[in-house]
Amino acid sequence: MPEGPYLSCAYDYLADYDLQACLAEALCRLMSRTFRPDFIHQCFEDKYLAGAFQQIRSEEFETDCRIFLNLLNERLGDKRRVYTFPCISAFAGMEEMKQPSDLDAFWVDFNIGSQSVTVYVDSTEVTAKPRWL
């Protein structure tokens, strides 16, 4: 593998939380936990980020990945392309969305690249037929 923080650079350009999460998931699924430390320290110059990536567990992927990506996006500084904020509640029209039970907070992602806003909700609360149809 060539020298350099190539994975870190990839995250500089991924301007959408979903794309960032997909890259993290692919890496976690494609490499064993025993290989991660060597690989990740080659990818991230920031030892704190490398350590946070190593903490991602398969069985708690969504929660651990959220922690890692929130940290990564904060540390990108001026290069940051995803802005994430915790929120108290979210509504779609008059319908209140419920926080996913596996997350410690209700997060809203403002994605610069895709010019979109992402809110993950508890899918058990979503009705089969939207009320506006």
Give the separation between CA 47 and CA 23, rounded to whole angstroms.
19
Tens digits of per-residue pLDDT, 7-30?
Answer: 555 776 788 999 999 999 988 888
Structure pTM? Answer: 0.81
Q: Give the dihedral sign, CA 112/12/46/39.
A: positive
Q: What is the pLDDT of residue 128?
A: 52
Q: What are phi and psi of 117, to 5 degrees?
A: -120, 130
Stronger pLDDT, 7 or 116, i.e. the higher one: 116
Mark out the alpha helices in the chain (DSSP H runs): 6-13, 17-30, 36-43, 47-54, 61-75
| 48: helix, strand or coil | helix
Give the separation between CA 27 and CA 106, rounded to whole angstroms.
25
Residue 53 half-sphere exposure, CB side, CA atoms within 13 Å? 33
- Annotated domain spans of the chain: 6-125
Give the separation between CA 37 and CA 93, rounded to whole angstroms.
45
